[in-house]
């Protein structure tokens, strides 16, 4: 990896790349953004189609509690992966289970779960802050470019490859089951199992992106590019690729903004991606038709 | 006559309440069987049990081979109007594992066009699902159900949100499928006049209880 950082620094000094890329952390951020963009943009199309935005937000927030839990259980600060993955995954599966067994609307279950997680999180953070630097938890909330490590990039890469493999087999089934579980079932699919698979995948993706964008803003990166792509697309193919393109532009754009201005990366990404949403809304063919 | 659907002692719950209680129902091969009853009688619940998306007690036996798909026409699809899904996309989702965002093969495109032609819906191919009228959506859903040439066709209120002309077209199609291809049809419909025109037998679900294996319509209507 060092050779790569050296090469980027060389290009930056030669003026081929912006000067900020002399810093290895900016190169790591760029690689992270280039992985995160397509990953979040792609999965965002299914999240939006299945109306799981609120659920994704709740998973993001659960990560804060997971971080505190990891620290309490003795994981090293900055890599509390077992706490985060474990807590988020158990929470996500539990919500899905309660939703199916209780016949309660998804939003209601997610809301209750969010309240419970946040309550638990606040208690744990209070406990943790006596023993650890509170910035550890803050990093999980807002994301931080400076603390991104090679290992985090590796996790992101593995998650992206896994997501691509699952999508290659199940992308159509995820969407069909969301349109009509009965229809999917008539075609020999298993809608409930598909939901568990998707929820597991979405949790892994959300957690993998936390280091860069943070728990509070993970929703932005997943939902906003897909929502922006909806404004302009006429079919699912355009929707998917446009969502990936917008998400990648937002990630790289936000990174560059935070490279030049003293602002957190997550916040900059959020602002770039919402700006893209309004841009596509203004250019949307459907909106023009509606206002005619 | 062989039963293609055989239901015995079916009991199912929705939201903690009994929605169907000890229901028996036989649908025989080749018939158009109407399933009627007032709102809340459990018609849709029965369909969900039949299609395997709702747990139940009792038995449901299907006389279908492993490769036989059930052609199912839902009452509606759950999607936000902003979702950019085209009619062709909708077909591709259920016909192939190849992700819908990849380029479609020529063979698949032709298969979709042929299916749409069957219900007079060819012109709708590139339209967004959210832009379709009630009648247009119904034609697309019917074409989707027929594309796998099912031996059993299950329809949930196919004439709702459809005008008189559209409704007649659906009736004609069902009669033709039954006569020419021997397709068995389970038609969930609250409109008894429509059932009188197409169904050979009707089962009335009321207060959770079915009247057994179904009776000719004259007897079902007091």
- pLDDT, position B137: 92
- Nearest chain B Cα distance for residue A163, angstroms: 13
The residues near B211 (Cβ < 8 Å, ≥ 6 apart) are B203, B204, B220
Of A171, A179, A235, the CB nearest to B99: A171
CA dist B25 → A111, A183, B3, B9, B50 (Å): 41, 22, 10, 9, 11
pLDDT tops 80 at residue A108: yes
Residue A241 contacts B where some CB pair is shorter than 8 Å = yes
Q: Which pLDDT band holds residue B204 (cuts at 50, 70, 90)?
A: confident
pLDDT tops 60 at residue B221: no
C-alpha of A90 from chain center: 18
Supply φ then ψ for residue B59, to 5 degrees.
-125, 145
What's the mean pLDDT in A15-22? 87
Q: Is B160 exposed, middle or buried (0-12, 13-18, 19+ CB in 10 A)?
A: middle
* Total residues belonging to chain B: 222
Residues of B with Cβ-Cβ distance to A174 under 8 angstroms: none
Residue B16 contacts A where some CB pair is shorter than 8 Å = yes
Interface predicted TM-score of the whole assembly (ipTM), two decimals: 0.88
pLDDT tops 70 at residue B217: no
The residues near A82 (Cβ < 8 Å, ≥ 6 apart) are A70, A73, A75
Q: Which pLDDT band holds residue B210 (cuts at 50, 70, 90)?
A: low
- Nearest chain A Cα distance for residue B99, angstroms: 6
Spatial distance between the Cα atoms of B119 and B84, rounded to a whole number of angstroms: 23
What's the mean pLDDT in B106-115? 94
Looking up tokens 């919402």, which residue turns up? Answer: A274
The answer to whether A135 touches A256, Cβ cutoff 8 Å, is: no
Are B128 and A234 in contact (CB < 8 Å)? Answer: yes
pTM over 0.95: no
- pLDDT, position A160: 96
**What percent of chain B has pLDDT above 90?**
49
pLDDT tens across B10-28, in order?
999 887 788 888 888 899 9
What's the mean pLDDT in B30-58? 89
Spatial distance between the Cα atoms of B104 and A216, rounded to a whole number of angstroms: 38
- pLDDT, position B208: 58
Spatial distance between the Cα atoms of B182 and B149, rounded to a whole number of angstroms: 11
Spatial distance between the Cα atoms of A274 and A267, rounded to a whole number of angstroms: 11
Residue B55 contacts A where some CB pair is shorter than 8 Å = no
pLDDT tens across A199-219, in order?
999 999 999 988 888 887 888
Spatial distance between the Cα atoms of B55 and A229, rounded to a whole number of angstroms: 38
Spatial distance between the Cα atoms of A145 and A39, rounded to a whole number of angstroms: 18
Spatial distance between the Cα atoms of A44 and A53, rounded to a whole number of angstroms: 9
Q: Between the ranges A26-30, A112-116, A151-155, A239-243, where is the mean pLDDT highest?
A: A239-243
- Nearest chain B Cα distance for residue A98, angstroms: 13
Residues 150-189, chain B: which have Cβ within 8 Å of A?
154
DSSP 3-state percent helix, strand, coil across chain B (nearest 5): 35, 25, 35
Residues of B with Cβ-Cβ distance to A178 under 8 angstroms: 78-79
First to last CA, chain B: 27
Tokens of A168: 């290659």
pLDDT tops 60 at residue B219: no
Of B16, B74, B92, the CB nearest to A180: B74
Between residues B116 and A148, the one the model is more confident about: B116
Nearest to B46 by CA among B200, B175, B208: B208
Q: Which pLDDT band holds residue B99 (cuts at 50, 70, 90)?
A: very high
- Nearest chain B Cα distance for residue A91, angstroms: 23
pLDDT tens across A29-57, in order?
999 999 999 999 999 999 999 999 999 98
Are A236 and B79 in contact (CB < 8 Å)? Answer: no
- pLDDT, position B176: 92
List, in sequence order, the alpha helices (H) in chain B: 43-51, 87-95, 106-118, 134-146, 164-181, 192-198, 217-220
Supply φ then ψ for residue B19, to 5 degrees.
-100, -30
pLDDT tens across A217-265, in order?
888 889 999 999 998 999 999 999 999 999 999 999 998 998 888 888 8
Q: Which pLDDT band holds residue B66 (cuts at 50, 70, 90)?
A: low
In 3-state terms, what secondary structure has residue B215?
strand
Strand B3-14 relative to strand B57-62, pairing: antiparallel
- Nearest chain A Cα distance for residue B97, angstroms: 6
Residue A289 contacts B where some CB pair is shorter than 8 Å = no
pLDDT tops 60 at residue B132: yes
Residue B89 contacts A where some CB pair is shorter than 8 Å = yes
Are B53 and A172 in contact (CB < 8 Å)? Answer: no
Residues of B with Cβ-Cβ distance to A227 under 8 angstroms: 82
Q: Between the ranges A76-85, A219-228, B199-208, B212-221, where is the mean pLDDT highest?
A: A219-228
């Amino acid at each position: 990896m060092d050779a790569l950082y050296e090469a980027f620094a060389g290009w930056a000094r030669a003026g081929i790349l912006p000067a900020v890329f002399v810093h290895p952390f900016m190169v790591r951020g760029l690689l992270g953004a280039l992985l995160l963009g397509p990953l979040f943009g792609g999965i965002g199309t299914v999240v939006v189609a299945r109306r799981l935005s609120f659920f994704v937000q709740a998973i993001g927030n659960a990560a804060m509690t997971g971080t505190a839990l990891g620290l309490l259980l003795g994981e090293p600060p900055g890599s509390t992966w077992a706490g985060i993955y474990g807590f988020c995954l158990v929470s996500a599966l539990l919500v899905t289970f309660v939703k199916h067994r209780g016949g309660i609307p998804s939003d209601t279950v997610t809301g209750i779960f969010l309240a419970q997680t946040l309550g638990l999180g606040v208690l744990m953070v209070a406990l943790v802050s006596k023993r650890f630097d509170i910035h550890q938890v803050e990093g999980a909330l807002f994301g931080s470019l400076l603390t991104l490590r090679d290992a985090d990039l590796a996790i992101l890469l593995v998650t992206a490859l896994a997501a691509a493999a699952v999508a290659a087999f199940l992308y159509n089934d995820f969407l069909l089951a969301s349109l009509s579980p009965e229809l999917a079932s008539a075609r020999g699919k298993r809608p409930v199992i598909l939901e568990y698979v998707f929820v597991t995948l979405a949790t892994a993706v959300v957690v993998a992106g936390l280091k860069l964008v943070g728990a509070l803003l993970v929703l932005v990166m997943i939902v906003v590019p897909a929502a922006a792509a909806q404004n302009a697309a006429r079919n699912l193919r355009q929707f998917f690729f446009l969502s990936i393109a917008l998400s990648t532009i937002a990630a790289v754009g936000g990174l560059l903004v935070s490279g030049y201005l003293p602002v957190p990366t997550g916040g900059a990404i959020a602002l770039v991606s919402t700006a893209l949403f309004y841009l596509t809304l203004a250019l949307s063919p459907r909106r023009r038709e509606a206002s005619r | 006559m062989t039963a293609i659907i055989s239901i015995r002692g079916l009991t199912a719950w929705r939201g903690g309440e009994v929605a169907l209680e000890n229901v028996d129902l036989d649908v025989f091969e080749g018939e158009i069987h109407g399933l009627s009853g007032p709102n809340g009688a459990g018609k849709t619940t029965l369909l969900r049990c039949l299609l395997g998306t709702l747990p139940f007690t009792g038995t449901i036996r299907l006389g279908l081979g492993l490769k036989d798909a059930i052609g199912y026409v839902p009452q509606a699809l759950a999607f936000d109007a902003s979702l950019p899904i085209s009619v062709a996309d909708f077909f591709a989702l259920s016909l192939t594992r190849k992700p819908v965002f990849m380029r479609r093969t020529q063979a698949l495109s032709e298969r979709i066009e042929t299916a749409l032609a069957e219900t007079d819906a060819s012109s709708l191919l590139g339209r967004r699902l959210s832009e379709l009228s009630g009648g247009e959506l119904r034609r697309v859903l019917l074409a989707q159900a027929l594309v796998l040439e099912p031996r059993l066709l299950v329809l949930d209120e196919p004439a709702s949100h459809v005008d008189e002309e559209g409704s007649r077209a659906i009736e004609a199609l069902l009669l033709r499928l039954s006569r020419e291809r021997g397709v068995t049809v389970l038609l969930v419909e609250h409109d008894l006049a429509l059932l009188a025109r197409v169904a050979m037998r009707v089962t009335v679900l009321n207060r959770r209880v079915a009247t057994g294996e179904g009776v000719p319509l004259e007897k079902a209507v007091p």
